[in-house]
Chain A
Amino acid sequence: MTPQIIIIDDDPVSSKIAEISILRKKPDVRVTVFNNPIEALDSITTNYPSFSQQFSTLLLIDINMPEMSGWEFIESLNQNIPALEKKFKGIILSSSVDPADIQKSKEYPSIVHYLTKPFTLDMANTIDQWFA
């Protein structure tokens, strides 16, 4: 299955940095960027049956977004997609260094890791370990 990374981050600069970094180190990975979590939610919910057939999917999720926080996004996705953690893995990618946020990320079974911005080339190098 083709590896796929979906970036959900309202900040276009930050998501661009992640996208360029991943493509530079892992050119085989399909990268999709959503700058609006609500659009991301709609799109992923609609497409996940075909996604799960074709792709091995990893989500990169920001926390502080105006339309919907990263936590709300994960919870909505959990409601929309039964047994989400078996289908997708998620990684938090946030500028927050608040220990409370890092702790909170551990409460979600589908979230496997917490990365602090910026997304680096080193992170891109080791990102494949998180594909299911």
Chain B
Amino acid sequence: MSTSEEKIIFLENKIKEIQEMQATIHYIVMAVMAKNTIKDVLWEITQNCIHRLGLQDCVIYLYHDEDQTLRQFAALGEKKADGSWEVVNPIALKLGQGIVGNVALTGAPEIISDTSQDDRYVQDVEGCQSEIAIPIKLGDKLIGVLDSEHPEKNFYQPKHLEMLSTIASLCAFKIDSLHNMDKLIRTNAQLRIAQKVAQLGAWEYHNVTQRIYFHPKVEELMEKDQSVRGLTFEELENILHPGDIDFFRSSWKDYWDTGEAPPGYLRITINKQERFVIWRVADTKDQLLKNQAVVTGIFFDITEIKKLESQKDSLVNELSKRNQSLSQFNKIISHNLRAPVANMIGILQLLDVLDVQSPEYKSMQNELGQLANGIDHIIKDLNGALSSTTEIKESKQKVYLKETLLAVVDLLHHQIKEVKPNIIIHTEDAPYAFAYPAYVHSIFYNLLSNAVKYRSTDRHLEIQLRSEMLENEIKIQFQDNGKGINFNKNKDQIFGLYKRFHKEIEGKGLGLFITKQQVEFMGGEISVLGNENNGLEFTILLPKS
């Protein structure tokens, strides 16, 4: 007997019910949106389902793709221990197992009016006779299942399905965004650690502000207005090495023209220090970066690596030079010391068989004495010349040329006291060289003792030392008026190992060989000019620094 009054009451109730549903949904949406962790969101939902929807039990399962298992995560009602935020004895269901597992598999919600009639039913809470299960999905992606059970049969109505479906959608959306946020935070943290470990920096160019922002913030190290973050192009180009500006501009242009730019080196002066940086623009072929209003890339400070590299290079260089010296020393010993020793052995053998009265015997005996003296000279020479070569502990420093030559003159005063050479020194233009003091001393020693040894018998010995500053080098000239050398025959051999050009003098040729080694060791060059009977002029070029 449905009267119109009853109909009105029914409709009014219906409207009231819908309004209540709306209010409930609204309340839940607001409450859930305010939560920031997945745990808070899920507990909020279960709590509200119980209190606001008048359910006795509410459980949310989360789906784990790794093992295709649904696990109870949040619950209210029988499943919740008082005061704790943990589920008591959480159930885990495989995909397709129980009603929850089936709903997850099919993606369609289900109301089971009588659980005793459904053989899929897996008991969770004792004494329940009806169940509702709603999949929580975002598009095709399964996130979990919202599930509720009730002691009465036929408890769940379409309105429950409708409301819980709405809540499940909300839940899916919120969980997904929290997942992404979590992932982003983790990725970001990993990126920061990786950047720090690898000393990588990142930069971003924003179209709107037309500035480049750096991480770590290089602008804090610069003399600029610190209240404005980031650098304009002009500010960046101001700290770029002028030789790198073209590359920087062309790579920027390439980026806009083609969507990618070649990586390259930039020299950037920050805090009065020039730094080597690898500069790389992320290319827009990377899908994630398409349609962004920013350009992004990385920079990699390799200043320290470069420094170490150049230290390593110079160490290798020095070692190989020393090795070369050692091998030359080996040659001196094996070739030039061996020759007179071999002669002595040869003579001793002949003295055994030759007639003591013969002229050969006398001459060989005489030679033997000279050879012994010659060997002694070589050993003394080696000792003097190489003692300075082997021990280079100090670094290059200012070596005053005039003072060094005068010290050598003093050292050689026994040899030159009878010769009394006229020594002229003009080093005002370049009074010092940047060199190893022991080497310069040894070089002057060899040049001066050669000049004395090979002086001309026709004229008084005159020696000139001059120095001059060139653009990158210092030029040192050492000139004598001695016998000179016939250059047509001997030009390339004057600095060679153990060459003698004046056989009547006990020369060993060792001095000039070692001089050349020492000049080259300091990164310089030595050359010689002159004619026979006209003296020699040695020119040494040493790098300024």
A residues with CB within 8 A of B = 11, 13-14, 16-18, 20-21, 24, 64, 66-67, 95-98, 116-121
Cβ–Cβ contact B489 & A117, under 8 A: no
Q: Given A17-B347, A20-B360, A98 and B353 touching (CB < 8 A)? A: no
Question: B354 to chain A: closest CB distance in Å?
Answer: 7
Chain B residue at minimum C-beta to C-beta distance from A17: B346
B346 contact set on A, CB distance < 8 A: 14, 17-18, 21, 117-120
Q: Given A11-B339, A66-B499, A118 and B345 touching (CB < 8 A)? A: yes
Cβ–Cβ contact A95 & B338, under 8 A: yes
Cβ–Cβ contact A96 & B335, under 8 A: yes
Cβ–Cβ contact B342 & A20, under 8 A: no
Cβ–Cβ contact B367 & A13, under 8 A: yes
Question: A46 to chain B: closest CB distance in Å?
Answer: 21
Chain B residue at minimum C-beta to C-beta distance from A24: B353
Partner of A118 from the list B342, B353, B354, B501 (CB cut-off 8 Å) is B342
B336-352 contacts to A (CB < 8 Å): 338-339, 342-343, 345-347, 349-350
A-B contact pairs, 7 of them (CB 8 A): A20-B364, A24-B353, A67-B489, A95-B338, A117-B342, A118-B342, A121-B350
Cβ–Cβ contact B349 & A121, under 8 A: yes
Cβ–Cβ contact A66 & B500, under 8 A: yes
B501 contact set on A, CB distance < 8 A: 66
| Given A95-B335, A95-B338; 8 other pairs, CB 8 A cutoff | A17-B364, A20-B360, A21-B346, A24-B350, A98-B335, A118-B342, A118-B349, A121-B353
User: Could you say which of A13, A20, A97 has the most chain B C-beta atoms within 10 Å of its C-beta?
Assistant: A13
Question: A29 to chain B: closest CB distance in Å?
Answer: 17
Chain B residue at minimum C-beta to C-beta distance from A122: B349
Chain A residue at minimum C-beta to C-beta distance from B350: A20
Partner of B338 from the list A17, A97, A120 (CB cut-off 8 Å) is A97
Q: Is B371 part of the binding interface, using a Cβ–Cβ cutoff of 8 Å?
A: yes
Q: Is B334 part of the binding interface, using a Cβ–Cβ cutoff of 8 Å?
A: yes
B371 contact set on A, CB distance < 8 A: 13
Chain B residue at minimum C-beta to C-beta distance from A11: B339
Cβ–Cβ contact B353 & A95, under 8 A: no
Question: A72 to chain B: closest CB distance in Å?
Answer: 12
Question: A38 to chain B: closest CB distance in Å?
Answer: 8
B490 contact set on A, CB distance < 8 A: 66
Cα-based distance from A61 to B338 in the complex (angstroms) = 17
Partner of B350 from the list A17, A97, A117 (CB cut-off 8 Å) is A17
Chain B residue at minimum C-beta to C-beta distance from A120: B349
Cα-based distance from A21 to B354 in the complex (angstroms) = 10
B488-512 contacts to A (CB < 8 Å): 489-490, 493, 498-501
Cα-based distance from A66 to B343 in the complex (angstroms) = 18
DSSP majority for the B interface?
helix
Chain A residue at minimum C-beta to C-beta distance from B499: A66
Cβ–Cβ contact B347 & A13, under 8 A: yes
User: Could you say which of A18, A24, A64, A120 has the most chain B C-beta atoms within 10 Å of its C-beta?
Assistant: A64
Cα-based distance from A6 to B501 in the complex (angstroms) = 24
Partner of B335 from the list A24, A64, A118, A121 (CB cut-off 8 Å) is A64
Cβ–Cβ contact A96 & B334, under 8 A: yes
Cα-based distance from A115 to B493 in the complex (angstroms) = 25
Cα-based distance from A63 to B511 in the complex (angstroms) = 22
Q: Given A66-B499, A66-B500, A119-B346, A20 and B354 touching (CB < 8 A)? A: yes
B354 contact set on A, CB distance < 8 A: 20
A13 contact set on B, CB distance < 8 A: 343, 347, 367, 371
B427-444 contacts to A (CB < 8 Å): none
A98 contact set on B, CB distance < 8 A: 331, 334-335
For B12-30 the 0/1 string (1 means CB < 8 A from A) is 0000000000000000000
B299-356 contacts to A (CB < 8 Å): 331, 334-335, 338-339, 342-343, 345-347, 349-350, 353-354
B349 contact set on A, CB distance < 8 A: 21, 118, 120-121
A14 contact set on B, CB distance < 8 A: 339, 342-343, 346
B364 contact set on A, CB distance < 8 A: 16-17, 20
Cβ–Cβ contact A117 & B343, under 8 A: yes
Cβ–Cβ contact B347 & A21, under 8 A: no
Cα-based distance from A120 to B347 in the complex (angstroms) = 9
Cβ–Cβ contact A117 & B500, under 8 A: no
Cα-based distance from A21 to B360 in the complex (angstroms) = 11
Chain A residue at minimum C-beta to C-beta distance from B342: A117
A21 contact set on B, CB distance < 8 A: 346, 349-350
Cα-based distance from A24 to B363 in the complex (angstroms) = 16
